[in-house]
Structure 1
Amino acid sequence: MNPPGLRVAVSEEDDMGDYGRPLEFGYFLVPNTGDPLLETARLADRLGLDLIGIQDHPYQRGYVDTWTLLSMVAAVTERVRVFPDVASLPLRQPAVLAKAAASLDVLSGGRAELGLGAGAFWEAIGAFGGPRRTPGEAMGALEEAVEIIRQVWSGGRGLRFDGEHYTLSGANAGPVPAHDIGIWLGVKGPRGLALAGRAADGWVPSSSWATPEVLAESHARIDEAAAAAGRDPAAIRRIYNVNGAITDGESRGFLHGPPDQWVEELTDLAVGHGMDAFVLWPEGDQHKQLERFATEVVPAVRDQVRHEREG
């Protein structure tokens, strides 16, 4: 599919095929205090993107709070869905996080999703009073959190959960979300990927650490766990944070090149390698990159994927 000279995103032996899910496209809004954050969010909404993801690092002094920004973004937009990409669980108690997500979903008319991570940057988390967990402890806490969040979203009364990291002791939940909020896990490694397949609604890796070469193995672990749990692997979303730059010059490697390169590489990732949503994390002029992505890349990828699926 790639024209001569264009760097191939992934190798043929890693081909995982296509889960057939509808494509979605989004923008990764870095919460820098001095940036025109709401203006950028409104632009993404006007350009017709499906998602806005916001990273969650409360200990980063140059960032505004992610949940406050998510609420403001939802308030000034009309159609785009918003999600933490991904929420830092060690600093977000899961029952309260569940209530916050459900409330945002209700207030926005069903436009909230929940990206969730086990935690990173443990010294910074500890500086903010959060727990310093081992990798095993962090994954155990994430698994407990997924169960607690689903309980809280049920709207039930007298909820109970007795875990190693979290508890519910007769909690009364509400409000119930306006739609079935997706829990999308930003995880890697065998245990995290198995958890995504067994208990989550989606997987949300970033191209910076989940390179195309590792996608096949990651999908396989998710799919195996999903099948073992009696779930359809195709029901699990695969959301890819794609870091790069759309340019007018020659290719400088994966996701660094002209629009036609982006179209070919994202199409490869969709129809050959299982990803179904692409959230742009651009380098350079943010508004220019966002506009080029929405107008020069997204429509062409939709057309190319449709053509390949029909062919």
Structure 2
Amino acid sequence: MKIGICLSNNWGVEDVQSIFGIATRAEGLGFDSVWVSEHVFNVSYVFDRIGSKPYYDPMTILSYVAAITKRVRLGTSVRVLPYHNPVRLAKTAATLDVMSGGSVTLGVGVGVLEQELAAMNRPFAERGA
């Protein structure tokens, strides 16, 4: 069995350095992986949970974590595909994977927040097409 931990990029933590502290501590404690998630806008239940506090970009967070860790795997849970050009997203993930010595797991999904998809000018009904 492998054990991972979700980093707090989505908890409304204003001190981004604390996220990096969690990552290095998790690695030191023997966790196998660290994970981040994605929302572009704080709408719906995201706003209810963290208000207007920051929800940090997952790949930027993982890039820094890759630079300060040695062994822990890096994962996204999840990148919302309709928000991105798939070729650019794949290239970004592949670049991070190379930079981190092959430690990236790219989790993807279609999104669940109609409000957020509308704000990104993406039709909710077509998000899985």
TM-score normalised by the chain length of structure 2? 0.82
Q: Which of 34, 40, 46 in structure 1 is aligned with 2:14?
A: 34
Distance, in Å, in 2 between the alignment partners of 1:82 and 1:130 is 29
In the other structure, the counterpart of 2:128 is 139
Give the counterpart letter for 2:77 in structure 1: D
In the other structure, the counterpart of 1:106 is 98
Give the count of matched residue pairs.
115
* Alpha carbons 1:41, 1:52 under 8 Å: kept: yes
In the other structure, the counterpart of 1:95 is 87
Secondary structure at the counterpart of residue 71 of structure 2:
coil
Unpaired segments of 5 or more residues in structure 1?
Answer: 1-22, 141-311
RMSD: 1.4
Q: List per-residue Cα deviations over 1:89-129 (Å, max 9, x = no partner).
A: 111221111001100000001111100011121212322x3
* Alpha carbons 2:40, 2:116 under 8 Å: kept: no
Give the counterpart letter for 1:77 in structure 2: T
Secondary structure at the counterpart of residue 86 of structure 1:
strand
Residue 71 (structure 1) aligned with residue 63 (structure 2): yes
Find runs of 4+ consecutive structure 1 residues off by over 6 angstroms: none
* Alpha carbons 2:117, 2:124 under 8 Å: kept: no
Q: List per-residue Cα deviations over 1:171-209 (Å, max 9, x = no partner).
A: xxxxxxxxxxxxxxxxxxxxxxxxxxxxxxxxxxxxxxx
Residue 52 (structure 1) aligned with residue 34 (structure 2): yes
Give the counterpart letter for 1:67 in structure 2: M
The percent of aligned pairs where both chains have the same amino acid is 37
Higher-Rg structure is: 1
Alpha-carbon shift at residue 138 of structure 1 (Å):
2.3
The verdict on how the C-alpha distance between 1:92 and 1:37 changes in structure 2, with shifts beyond 3 A counting, is same
Give the counterpart letter for 2:38 in structure 1: D
Unpaired segments of 5 or more residues in structure 2?
Answer: 43-51
TM-score normalised by the chain length of structure 1? 0.35
Distance, in Å, in 2 between the alignment partners of 1:41 and 1:50 is 11
Give the counterpart letter for 2:128 in structure 1: M
Alpha-carbon shift at residue 131 of structure 1 (Å):
0.3
Distance, in Å, in 2 between the alignment partners of 1:130 and 1:110 is 33
Distance, in Å, in 1 between the alignment partners of 2:57 and 2:95 is 17
Alignment of structure 1 residues 123-134 onto 2, 5 Å: 123-127=115-119, 129-134=120-125
Distance, in Å, in 2 between the alignment partners of 1:28 and 1:133 is 27
